[in-house]
Amino acid sequence: MKIKNIKTLVLGAVILFSASGCSDLDEINQEKLGGPENFYADYNAVVNPMKSMQRGLQADYQLYPNLSADMFSGMFSTATPFNGGKNNMTYFMMDGWNNRIIARQQDIFNYSIIIDDAAKNIYPDIDFTATFAVKKILKVITAARVSDNHGPVVYSKYEIPNANGVTDFDSQQNAYQYFINDLSAAITDLQKVQNMPATENEGDKAALKKADLVFGGNIGQWAKFANSLKLRLAMRMSYADPGKSKQYAEEALASSAGLITDNADNALISVGQSELSFIIYSWGDCLIGAPLMAYMNGYNDPRLPAYAIPATDSQVQGKYIGVRQGINLLNGKTTYGGFSQPQAKSANGDYFSGTNGKLKLFTAAESWFLKAEAALRGYAGAGDIRTNYENGIKQSFGEWGKSANVDTYLADTTSTEAPYIDPKNAANNINAGDAQLSTITIAWNNADSMERKLERIITQKWLSLYPNGPEAWAEQRRTGYPILFKIRQNDSGGLISTDGMIRRIPFTTDTKTSLYNYQQASQMLNGPDTGGTKLWWDKKL
């Protein structure tokens, strides 16, 4: 292997790391203590920023997604009256919180640039096909999260500013096309390397194995993950572009890469300390969502003790009860702080661990529910709707160590979402018969209408997605399911409808005053830059 002298490149990498607030620079310096030969020969100039790309998906977790998508999904809530009780939860958009969405993307994409430069200048003789395919997947995951919050996103032009220094956006419609294309290309590249003899691309495989915090360098699993993401994005397009949705979903369903259909292949980033560990248990700023508990209590869901901790408040002690979003929190934590805290005790460890946490990207249950919806829509290769639906529930129960209870759950034809009773303020109650309570049951019923079947699929999918708030919120907006509680205190000044609920997060001042082409992005929205404007794929309601 040829190793080139790259003092200038290392300096450039340091500048990029510093600009993005990188916490991994010390790790890189430690790797260099053995001298430049050790640093370069072990591929650390590629490995360390690859690790940072993965860890970056949970950086600033409280500001995003916890105090936005997590809350809007109905899975989480808070007893902390941030900003005097006027904040994202009451539709008063917090500019200083929401700017972290694009800031995190910039950090992750800058790590990608560092990797590109290192591969070109330090390891010119190494073919990093598989490593670069994984990098491409991470960029799609990152940009898709930005797009599902804001709409337009800087993606294809990220490294190609205009002559005046301004960088253009992609519309969400075009961005999704780029995402699909890049995932397809990544699958092809990964399968190419996977099928090579063991003696080929040894450097590529060694670097990926060292850098991979998800699958430990398993190339086949990354191909399966990319294909599963392709199916996810294809189904997201189902109302906006049914033809392309069908085309891309059927490609994923037929792909030799396969899908994540067993929990052994779940995509979980090993993050070390989960940021939720201190947001929940040290700061007390995150509690479980009222809708999530209402569904799980009503369904007598065996996963409940894996998802939440019984309340300690004297009025509800020992019960599983969440806080309703967008209410007057009265005295804040003094009033609601003893309601149930979230937890995530899976069969494979504690996702919220302070030492060995996991960030959930994609699990087997989601693939089965995607297949169930694809079958419902008549997509070729999707299989049987009921089988897919029930397998989704079975895989979710397996993820949380509750498989022994799944048959009873699947046979339940009567249980529905439970009413929500707030012992602190009866005005927040959602009583039996309220339209904000779902009547959907658990057991599959072939006689139901297509819409009722869709509600059943997505409601169970939402339960299985926990604690992935961003994906849960995106699917709730796309389909209207599960039915969630509306906020009671709307501080949007009329910009977001209480009944219509929040549809997106507006661009922040940082973006408006940056070298990103904000004027272009605002025109791509087909509506005002507010939380009430629907995204491109949000075409159903």
CB 515 within 8 A of CB 167: yes
Query: Which residues, 6 or more positions from 59, have their beta carbon under 8 angstroms from its beta carbon?
Result: 104, 107, 275
Strand pairing category for 349-350 and 76-77: unpaired
Query: Which residues, 6 or more positions from 282, have their beta carbon under 8 angstroms from its beta carbon?
Result: none
Please give the chain's pLDDT, 541 residues, in tens.
333 333 333 334 433 433 334 444 444 444 443 444 444 568 999 999 999 999 999 999 999 999 999 999 999 999 999 999 999 999 999 999 999 999 999 999 999 999 999 999 999 999 999 999 999 999 999 999 999 999 999 999 999 999 999 999 999 999 999 999 999 999 999 999 999 999 999 999 999 999 999 999 999 999 999 999 999 999 999 999 999 999 999 999 999 999 999 999 999 999 999 999 999 999 999 999 999 999 999 999 999 999 999 999 999 999 999 999 999 999 999 999 999 999 999 999 999 999 999 999 999 999 999 999 999 999 999 999 999 999 999 999 999 999 999 999 999 999 999 999 999 999 999 999 999 999 999 999 999 999 999 999 999 999 999 999 999 999 999 999 999 999 999 999 999 999 999 999 999 999 999 999 999 999 999 999 999 999 999 999 6
Q: What is the DSSP letter of 23?
A: S
Query: How many angstroms separate the CA atoms of 58 and 64, rounded?
Result: 8
Please tell me whether residue 460 adopts helix, strand or coil conformation. helix
Q: What is the DSSP letter of 42?
A: T
Please tell me whether residue 14 adopts helix, strand or coil conformation. helix
Query: Which token pair is 98?
Result: 């929401």
> Among positive and negative, which fits the CA dihedral 410, 411, 417, 422?
negative
Query: Which residues, 6 or more positions from 406, have their beta carbon under 8 angstroms from its beta carbon?
Result: 302, 393, 394, 397
- Cα angle 32, 38, 39 (rounded to 5 degrees) comes to 45
Closest CA to 331 of 307, 316, 319, 313: 313
CATH topology of domain 37-524: 1.25.40
> Is the peptide bond between 124 and the residue preceding it cis, with omega within 30 degrees of 0?
no
pLDDT the model gives residue 40: 58
Closest CA to 468 of 342, 309, 345, 360: 360
CA dihedral 264, 266, 272, 276 (to 10 degrees): -130
Closest CA to 529 of 539, 538, 518, 513: 518
pLDDT the model gives residue 100: 98
Query: Which token pair is 110?
Result: 């800058």
